[in-house]
């Protein structure tokens, strides 16, 4: 789905009616908060990836810098998707956010954000997409999911090549990184009863989706690179199990 500033014309030349999201009144506050938070996360990721791309370009790693610059562009498009969803629901747009100032080692940040963060983020997006009943909402979530999958693949492709040393050096930190990401993804509040139909997952649904991604995607990726994954798996399950 491409977010356009001008709606495409029909064959007759008339502008089609914009498909609105008639969110139930009982869900309005939760729906607005959810997409506002999504917008913030996507834009923050865009700022972070662009800063990392600049740092890596200076260090001479032009290939990884190029991959991160492309990911930053994707995240800006995802933020635009969030604005479009809120607009079609008749809700106020999110406020612009200022970039966070981070002092982090670029290679370690790539492992944390792409290999771990983007990989795990796919699970809840996929579950929300499957449960959402409105076609436009499913399409919007599918755009976000596709981007996270692409970014995770870029991270793991890099980890299989020039990033293998950085990933191996971070082995002792991987359980803590994983639990931090899982905890952040579980922090969203419980939605009202109709929430899942509008893409707002319960905490149990998020935990189930995260367990699937943890065991079905992250663990095989670590194992394929010769890294012991048991401690990462056990640390992740310790976070998720109370919510299952």
The total domain count for the chain is: 1
Is residue 5 in some structural domain? no
Quick one: which of 168, 45, 150 has its CA closest to 107? 168
Summarize the confidence of residues 134-140 as an average pLDDT.
Answer: 94
Tens of pLDDT along 65-101?
Answer: 999 999 999 999 999 999 999 999 999 999 887 877 7
pTM: 0.89
Is residue 1 in some structural domain? no
pLDDT for the residue numbered 4: 36
Tens of pLDDT along 165-174?
Answer: 888 899 999 9
Is residue 117 in some structural domain? yes
Is residue 18 in some structural domain? no
pLDDT for the residue numbered 28: 96
Q: From CA 49, how far away is CA 103, in angstroms rounded? A: 13
Q: From CA 212, how far away is CA 220, in angstroms rounded? A: 12
Highest-pLDDT range among 15-24, 66-75, 104-113: 66-75
Quick one: which of 5, 107, 89, 86 has its CA closest to 40? 86
Is residue 125 in some structural domain? yes
Note whether 60 and 48 are within 8 A (CB). no
Quick one: which of 32, 64, 213, 140 has its CA closest to 222? 213
User: DSSP characters for 126-149?
Assistant: HHHHHH--SHHHHHHHHHHHHHHH
**Containing structural domain, residue 217:** 25-243
The pair of three-digit structure tokens given for residue 212, joined into one six-digit string: 């699937």
Tens of pLDDT along 197-242?
Answer: 999 999 999 999 999 999 999 999 999 988 889 999 999 999 999 9
Tens of pLDDT along 32-42?
Answer: 999 999 999 99
Is residue 237 in some structural domain? yes
Give the CATH number for residue 60: 1.20.1260.10
In the predicted model, is pLDDT for residue 11 greater than 60? Answer: no
Is residue 173 in some structural domain? yes
Could you tell me how far CA 111 lies from the centroid of its own chain? 15
Is residue 13 in some structural domain? no
pLDDT for the residue numbered 60: 82
């Amino acid at each position: 789905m491409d977010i356009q500033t001008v709606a495409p014309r029909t064959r007759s030349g008339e502008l089609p009616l914009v498909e609105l999201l008639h969110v139930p009144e009982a869900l309005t506050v939760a729906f607005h908060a959810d997409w506002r938070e999504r917008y913030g996360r996507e834009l923050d990721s865009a700022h972070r990836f662009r800063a990392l791309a600049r740092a890596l370009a200076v260090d001479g790693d032009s290939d990884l810098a190029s991959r991160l610059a492309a990911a930053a562009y994707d995240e800006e498009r995802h933020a635009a998707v969030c604005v479009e969803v809120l607009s079609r629901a008749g809700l106020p747009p999110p406020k612009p956010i200022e970039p966070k100032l981070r002092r982090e080692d670029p290679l370690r940040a790539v492992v944390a954000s792409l290999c771990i963060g983007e990989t795990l983020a796919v699970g809840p997006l996929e579950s929300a997409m499957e449960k959402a009943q409105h076609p436009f909402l499913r399409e919007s979530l599918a755009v976000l999911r596709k981007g996270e999958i692409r970014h995770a693949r870029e991270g793991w492709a890099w980890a299989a090549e020039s990033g293998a040393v950085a990933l191996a050096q971070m082995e002792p930190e991987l359980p803590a990184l994983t639990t931090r990401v899982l905890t952040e993804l579980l922090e969203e509040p419980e939605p009202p009863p109709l929430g899942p139909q509008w893409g707002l997952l319960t905490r149990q649904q998020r935990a189930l989706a995260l367990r699937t991604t943890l065991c079905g995607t992250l663990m095989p990726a670590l194992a394929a690179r010769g890294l012991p994954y048991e401690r990462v798996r056990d640390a992740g399950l310790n976070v998720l199990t109370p919510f299952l």
